[in-house]
């Protein structure tokens, strides 16, 4: 795993104190507090994304006294932050307790004061490169950008991004959300930009938009939010998405239609998703239990069941905590060996270009 290429920076005294305070409660105190709260509110956790359905089920089994209120499973990272903003001071069911967002959204949320610190008990096993020194946010899992292909419709598999410009792929290529708000869509554009030689950041944003403008002009881009259902219906025969989502969709379709997952040649784009607790969480103790769960062995194995690589994969594997049958069903690891992990700053610069220029450069509103 090449997490160490992601982030650099020193830990301030304030950050150390903040993280220490964040983890000052005992587990008994947190459980008692959560029991009194009675609920956890999540947002943007589709059950087929990294096996969140299974992870939520195991959380409910572990803490049966907590109701899990699931908001807007198909929301994007920007939508999650907007939900926190819109519900400041609201203790009702529309206020999220926890978020799961793309890497570049974590520092932005912290800077805006939308999240609060909490240091999970497995903190030391999370690579420094994917966690905030002040424990405001930390990454649980990652995947690489890939193409999911409905082979009932597509005879010749594309092997790289440039293939998608060919006339044979007319009206076939889609993203999984609005590229002005969806982290997955934004980073698909980063992958396309890298394929054209762009360095992650402003350069990848400009080159990625250039590619999608050409794709749209060629009539190959489908401005529809893609999912397993749109693949099955033939509405979006080729979809750019994280490998773990595509592999889960492939399994759920069970050959109807048949689907192949292709990781484009060249540098693989890896994307880390980070988790955090809302600064305005109505159920802060339940939120802490959720964080403990997803970073526990049980939670990390749940992500692996959904084809995601996880933050604690190296120490867990070294300690024999990952069953061999689970390791055997994971995808070919070769693309992970050539994976590029853009830094927070690079992802932020790329995101700014895409979100501000998509309309002017590409001009296709994704529905």
272-305 pLDDT, tens digit per residue, is 999 999 999 999 999 999 999 999 999 999 999 9
- List pLDDT tens digits, range 177-193: 999 989 999 999 999 99
Question: Would the pLDDT of 309 be above 60?
Answer: yes
Assign domain 11-141+270-331 to a CATH class. alpha beta
Residue 333, pLDDT > 80, answer no
Structure tokens at 348: 């932020």
pTM score, two decimals? Answer: 0.82
Predicted local confidence at residue 329, as pLDDT: 83
CB 95 within 8 A of CB 280: yes
pLDDT for 298: 98
The pLDDT of 51-59, averaged and rounded, is 98
* Closest by Cα among 236, 212, 225 to 153: 236
Residue 16: predicted pLDDT: 43
* Every domain of the chain and the residues it spans: 11-141+270-331, 143-269+340-361
Task: Yes or no: say if 104 and 351 are a contact pair by the CB < 8 Å rule.
Answer: yes
* Type and span of the H or E element at 352: helix 344-361
The single residue listed with the structure tokens 């424990």 is 135
User: Higher-confidence residue: 333 or 257?
Assistant: 257
Q: What is the pLDDT, as a whole number, of residue 7?
A: 35
pLDDT attached to residue 335 = 73
Instruction: State how far the alpha carbon of 141 is from the alpha carbons of 77, 228, 300, 356, in Å.
Output: 15, 21, 8, 28
Provide the CA 30 distance to its chain's centre, in angstroms: 27
Residue 113 predicted with pLDDT over 90? yes
Average pLDDT over residues 144-155: 96
Q: Contact at 8 Å (CB) between 60 and 68?
A: yes
Assess contact for 227 and 202: CB atoms under 8 A.
Answer: no
Right CATH number for 143-269+340-361 from 3.60.15.10, 3.30.565.10, 3.30.70.260, 3.40.190.10?
3.40.190.10
pLDDT at 9 over 50: no
78, pLDDT greater than 50:
yes
C-beta atoms surrounding 41 within 10 Å: 25
- Three-point CA angle 348, 354, 359, nearest 5°: 155
DSSP state for residue 22 in the 8-state scheme: H
Q: What is residue 12's predicted lDDT score, i.e. its pLDDT?
A: 39
CA 243 centroid distance within chain:
11
Assess contact for 218 and 165: CB atoms under 8 A.
yes
How far is residue 135's CA from residue 53's CA, in Å, rounded to a whole number? 26
Rounded distance between C-alpha atoms, residue 20 and residue 73, angstroms:
32
13 pLDDT band (50/70/90 cuts)? Answer: very low
Fold matches, 11-141+270-331 and 143-269+340-361: yes
């Amino acid at each position: 795993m090449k997490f160490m290429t992601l982030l650099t920076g020193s830990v301030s005294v304030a950050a150390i104190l903040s993280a220490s305070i964040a983890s000052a409660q005992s587990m008994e105190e947190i459980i008692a507090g959560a029991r009194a709260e009675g609920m956890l509110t999540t947002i943007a956790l589709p059950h087929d994304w990294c096996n969140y359905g299974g992870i939520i089920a195991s959380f409910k089994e572990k803490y049966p006294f907590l109701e899990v209120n699931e908001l807007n499973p198909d929301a994007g990272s920007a939508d999650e932050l907007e939900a926190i903003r819109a519900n400041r001071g609201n203790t009702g069911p529309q206020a999220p307790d926890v978020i799961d967002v793309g890497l570049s959204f974590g520092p932005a949320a912290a800077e805006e004061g939308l999240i609060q610190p909490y240091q999970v008990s497995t903190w030391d096993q999370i690579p420094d490169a994917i966690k905030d020194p002040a424990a405001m946010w930390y990454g649980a899992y990652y995947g690489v950008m890939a193409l999911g292909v409905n082979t009932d419709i597509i005879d010749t598999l594309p092997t790289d991004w440039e293939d998608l410009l060919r006339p044979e792929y007319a009206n076939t290529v889609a993203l999984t959300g609005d590229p002005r708000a969806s982290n997955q869509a934004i980073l698909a554009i980063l992958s396309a930009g890298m394929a054209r030689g762009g360095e992650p950041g402003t350069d990848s944003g400009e080159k990625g938009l250039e590619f999608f403008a050409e794709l749209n002009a060629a009539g190959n881009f489908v401005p529809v939010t893609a999912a397993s259902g749109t693949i099955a219906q033939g509405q979006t025969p080729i979809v750019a998405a994280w490998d773990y989502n595509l592999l889960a969709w492939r399994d759920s379709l069970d050959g109807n239609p048949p689907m192949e997952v292709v990781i484009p040649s060249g540098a693989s784009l890896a994307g880390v998703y980070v988790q955090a607790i809302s600064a305005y969480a109505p159920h802060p103790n339940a939120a802490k239990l959720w964080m403990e769960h997803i970073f526990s062995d049980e939670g990390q194995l749940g992500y692996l069941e959904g084809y995601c690589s996880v933050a604690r994969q190296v120490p867990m594997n070294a300690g024999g905590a990952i069953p061999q049958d689970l390791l055997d069903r994971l995808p070919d690891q070769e693309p992970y060996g050539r994976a590029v992990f853009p830094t927070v700053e690079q992802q932020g610069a790329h995101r700014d270009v895409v979100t501000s220029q998509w309309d002017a450069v590409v001009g296709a509103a994704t529905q």
